[in-house]
Amino acid sequence: MEWCFPYIFIFTFLSAIYVFFKWKLSFWERRDVPTLPPSIPFGNVKGVGQTHHMKDLIDKVYRAFKDKSPIAGAYFAVSPVLIITDLDLAKNILIKDFNYFIDRPIYCNEDDDPLSGHMFALKGEKWRNIRSKLTPTFTSGKMKFMFPTIVDVADKFSESLKSAVKTDGVLEMKDWLARYTTDVIGRCAFGIECSSLEDPKVKFREMGQKAFDDPRHSQFVESIIWQFPNLCRTMGIKVVRDDVTEFFMGIVRDTLAYREENDIHRNDFMDLLIELQKSEGKLTVEEIAAQVYLFFIAGFETSSTTLSYALYELALNEDVQNKAREEINAVLEKHNGQLTYEAMKEMHYIDQIISETLRLYPPVVAIFRQTTENYKVHNTKFVIEKDISVFIPAYSIQRDEEYFENPEIFDPGRFSPEAMKARHPMTFLSFGDGPRNCIGLRFGRMQSSIGLITLLHNFRIKKCSKTVIPMKFSNSKGILSSEGGLYLEVEGL
């Protein structure tokens, strides 16, 4: 008889695991919220990051339930998450009822991993406090002040490209544009010449690439951390790589000390953070480092991918490119050939190109929040319970034929003031919305516009035999990125 005990034990153990998964994966069914059928143990995320991107899963749920229910459930492994399919509900979540949705489900561990304590991840009062302190850093007055610095970097970018095209007109533009935005953020956030345009291997570029392309943990470990944040914090688990932390902490400490000793004021992000350090309710060096690190991370990849998608679409749509160049030349002529802040503001078509690019290719594919208390969805039976992660599918909404006719077609005319006024405000979410929207919106638009204006003024962009058409996205990157390089023919004018 004793021989069968191990079998009984294994059978009971496996049955218990099965019951646990079944129970967890019936969370939405028990609440009458529609879902696609999940599978054990992945829920709905089987193949995400490998055979398809997270946006594809969210899109599948959005399209399956859009006209049937304002909310639909999904499972990231055993964690239940909600996908919002209704624009009015999205507006309530982001703006009207924001107080229920202040947080994002992002792990941070300020004690053991100082750079993880940045504004994107902070929660509740800590977030409110830092956001209100940093908001004055991004006013249009401050942007105007940083404008000449960015134009200077863009001019250097243009000179470097001119030399490069002499050897070969076909260039991998994704890397070139990432070097441009790295240098911009380096100058504006740290007051440092990164010089990645001259030398692609400089430390800043290397660290930026590592933070994005070579994270500390595999996607599997990241999903465990995502599901058990409190346990992971207690265990002192870090998410930022040690070499990245060392590099950014070192740069911030050195810059703070250098500026203090030499009484240097540059009116860049660092300067404003130093002021905050001295003011009431001081920021610590670690807090400053975390925010500047975030500006770097949030600022260079989002803007460089936006620029690379814009160039891709302009290479495929010559008429749009020509119209953009005509606008640039006409406005610059009016301003004595000088790209000033005022001149940029007059280039409305360029602004529309940036918006249309971000509609088709939002770098952040979904806007996400976490409930801080139970929330009753207006005019429905649904209650979204505390601590549920909520996703508003920006990519899907922005490619929905109900809101954008022939959504796959690149048409900057969709962002004329009249067309925008006629649409629901939640049909464009590339910078999020509400009190927790992208704080760097103006800066991101400005560095993208300056880059685009400078490029189109000096070069013609064409597709070539190496350009991948249609666009293929990388499945493994969080940010919407093209798979492999983006090759375009660049011809000096």
Applying CB under 6 A, which residues contact ligand HEM?
Answer: 119-120, 131, 294-295, 298-299, 302-303, 306, 358, 363-364, 367, 430-433, 436-440, 443-444, 448
Considering the complex, state which of residue 161 and residue 367 has its C-beta at the smaller distance from ligand HEM. 367
Q: Could you tell me the smallest distance in angstroms from the CB atom of residue 272 to ligand HEM?
A: 12
At residue 260, the 3 state secondary structure works out as: helix
Query: CA-to-CA distance for 401 and 408, rounded, in angstroms?
Result: 9
Q: Name the phi and psi angles at 460, rounded to 5.
A: -105, 135
Q: Could you tell me the smallest distance in angstroms from the CB atom of residue 493 to ligand HEM?
A: 26
Considering the complex, state which of residue 309 and residue 349 has its C-beta at the smaller distance from ligand HEM. 309
Q: Could you tell me the smallest distance in angstroms from the CB atom of residue 46 to ligand HEM?
A: 26
* Sign of the Cα pseudo-torsion (321, 324, 325, 326, in order): positive
Q: Could you tell me the smallest distance in angstroms from the CB atom of residue 137 to ligand HEM?
A: 9
Considering the complex, state which of residue 25 and residue 185 has its C-beta at the smaller distance from ligand HEM. 185
Considering the complex, state which of residue 173 and residue 332 has its C-beta at the smaller distance from ligand HEM. 173
Q: Is 188 annotated as a binding residue?
A: no
Task: Tell me if 393 sits within 8 A of 59, measured CB to CB.
Answer: yes
Considering the complex, state which of residue 28 and residue 428 has its C-beta at the smaller distance from ligand HEM. 428
Considering the complex, state which of residue 294 and residue 488 has its C-beta at the smaller distance from ligand HEM. 294
Q: Could you tell me the smallest distance in angstroms from the CB atom of residue 24 to ligand HEM?
A: 27
CA distances, 444 to each of 118, 123, 296, 305, 463 (Å): 18, 24, 11, 11, 26
Contact partners, residue 91, CB within 8 Å, separation at least 6: 425, 426, 433
Q: What is the number of the residue whose Cβ is closest to ligand HEM?
A: 432
Q: Could you tell me the smallest distance in angstroms from the CB atom of residue 120 to ligand HEM?
A: 4
Q: Name the phi and psi angles at 229, rounded to 5.
A: -65, -40
Considering the complex, state which of residue 257 and residue 441 has its C-beta at the smaller distance from ligand HEM. 441
Q: Name the phi and psi angles at 369, rounded to 5.
A: -140, 170
Query: CA-to-CA distance for 81 and 370, rounded, in angstroms?
Result: 9
CA distances, 36 to each of 67, 203, 455 (Å): 15, 45, 45
Considering the complex, state which of residue 49 and residue 440 has its C-beta at the smaller distance from ligand HEM. 440
Query: CA-to-CA distance for 365 and 345, rounded, in angstroms?
Result: 27
Element (H, E) at 391: strand 389-392
User: Residue 66: what residue type?
Assistant: K
Element (H, E) at 172: strand 170-172
Query: CA-to-CA distance for 85 and 371, rounded, in angstroms?
Result: 17
Query: CA-to-CA distance for 335 and 330, rounded, in angstroms?
Result: 9
Length of the chain: 493
Q: Could you tell me the smallest distance in angstroms from the CB atom of residue 373 to ligand HEM?
A: 19
Query: CA-to-CA distance for 176 and 153, rounded, in angstroms?
Result: 13
User: What are 376's strand-pairing partners?
Assistant: 383
Q: Could you tell me the smallest distance in angstroms from the CB atom of residue 13 to ligand HEM?
A: 42
User: What are 211's strand-pairing partners?
Assistant: none
Q: Could you tell me the smallest distance in angstroms from the CB atom of residue 256 to ligand HEM?
A: 19
Task: Tell me if 445 sits within 8 A of 303, measured CB to CB.
Answer: no
Roughly what angle, to the nearest 10 degrees, separates helices 285-316 and 269-278? 160
Contact partners, residue 5, CB within 8 Å, separation at least 6: none
Task: Tell me if 346 sits within 8 A of 331, measured CB to CB.
Answer: yes
Q: If we measure between CA atoms, which residue out of 347, 336, 365 comes closest to residue 456?
A: 347
Considering the complex, state which of residue 437 and residue 458 has its C-beta at the smaller distance from ligand HEM. 437
Considering the complex, state which of residue 35 and residue 448 has its C-beta at the smaller distance from ligand HEM. 448
Query: CA-to-CA distance for 105 and 117, rounded, in angstroms?
Result: 13
User: Residue 194: what residue type?
Assistant: C
Considering the complex, state which of residue 323 and residue 442 has its C-beta at the smaller distance from ligand HEM. 442
User: What are 368's strand-pairing partners?
Assistant: 391
Q: Binding site for heme: what residues are annotated?
A: 438
Q: Binding site: what residues are annotated?
A: 438
